[in-house]
Structure 1
Amino acid sequence: MSVDKSPVESLRDRKRRQTRERIIETAFALFMERGFDVVTVDEIAQRAEIGRTTFFRYFGDKQEVVFSTEDDFLRALIAAMREAPAEPLPDLGRALATSRRLLLALCTEAARNADHYAVYHRLVTRHPELEDRHTRKTRHYADLLEKHLIDHGTPPPTAVLAAQLTLGCYQTAWRLGGTDATAVLREAEGAFDLLLGATAV
């Protein structure tokens, strides 16, 4: 019989997690009701029934609330990189095959909380300052992918190209899938099918 070795969440940790989740849910609801620009931290804290000081224990500002799942995406990407076969990736075809697996891991993480993703997508597309941060975030992922490929033997020019093509597949999925996280995952697969089909010719 297998023994579950997963750590048991303490009462303190559970309360912290619940408070953080309540802040996020409250903030997203307010952002959608009134717009990101006009909602204040005080309003979020008041509706979430916490103090202003408590809000800042969890988030530095309103933008951090919108991007509250950023750490989850990074963990998903890093985990997928660690689980990837430790085989050399000397050419574009192999680099893209690995890139596809890593991109789909990110899209799968987004689909785990489809409601959250839908609100996130609406907020980002409506507010330029959020869209700018989203763009910088996705470029950071592309940089991590590029480094991963180089570390696995992909020549730097090929690694840069593969990472940028992967970024293009994600941006295609972001536009076509819209607020539907499942559709984004599907469109990402479709974009890579087109890309890999073209590079195989």
Structure 2
Amino acid sequence: MATAWDRQRAALREEITETARTLFVEKGFDATTVDEIAQAVGISRRSFFRYFGTKEDVVLGDLTGRADALARALAARPADEDPWTALRTAMLDSRSETFTDVRSDLAITRMMRDTPSLRARKFEKRQYWSEVLTPLVAERITEGDATVRAAAVVAAVLACVDIASDVWAESGGTADIVAVYDEAVAALRD
């Protein structure tokens, strides 16, 4: 059970995130400083870094937590389900974020794609996704080198997620991101 301190800490983390997102959308990622975010929230720079290791981490959110949620959802899928189907269903089951503010979500998605430091940090954090998902996918592979095949499937799935996000952003948020993901996977599996 979360303590009052835990709830207060989570609320401040959310306030920092929302304030930073607003500033990033208004001014751009590179033009927004940690000091501006801290000042807008009413905290010190030092307090900011108690909640986030880098400015990039504010944009990327908890990618590690999302990977863990996806791994739990994948582990809960039927053992006889093929890796592609299991991963797709697990991703849909573990989605904790929804696109609620299209303007802001589009800006953040484009920012993540177009800002080199964000892109690098995202791929650095995505390595963790591969590390936790590959062994779970390998359990579903019965032929060849399961580890190699599982690593390839996970890498391909993550690439398809990125493609779907890019197409969604380029469409101005009108593309069905799940349908685009399915189309990208179908291209690989044909």
Is the TM value for this pair above 0.5? yes
Match of 2:157 among 144, 149, 166: 166
Match of 1:130 among 98, 110, 118: 118
Q: Give the TM-score taking structure 2 as reference length.
A: 0.79
Distance 2:50 2:152 in 1: 40
Tell me what 1:27 maps to.
Answer: 20
Which residues of structure 1 form unaligned runs of 5+? 1-6
Are the aligned partners of 1:174 and 1:184 in contact in 2 as well (CA < 8 Å)? yes
What RMSD, in angstroms, separates the aligned Cα atoms of the two structures? 2.8
Tell me what 2:37 maps to.
Answer: 44
Distance 2:127 2:32 in 1: 28
Describe the shift of the 1:12–1:120 C-alpha distance in structure 2 as closer, same or farther (beyond 3 A).
same
Match of 2:57 among 61, 64, 67: 64
Shift of 1:19: 0.9
RCO higher in 1 or 2 (8 Å CA, sep ≥ 6)?
1
SS at match of 1:109: coil
Q: Give the TM-score taking structure 1 as reference length.
A: 0.75
% identical aligned pairs: 29
Match of 1:54 among 28, 47, 51: 47
Distance 1:74 1:195 in 2: 23
Distance 1:181 1:111 in 2: 14
Which residues of structure 2 form unaligned runs of 5+? none
Tell me what 2:181 maps to.
Answer: 188
Larger C-alpha radius of gyration, 1 or 2? 1
Distance 1:52 1:165 in 2: 39
Q: How does 1:79-98 map to 2 (within 5 A)?
A: 79-87=72-80, 94-98=82-86
Describe the shift of the 1:51–1:167 C-alpha distance in structure 2 as closer, same or farther (beyond 3 A).
closer
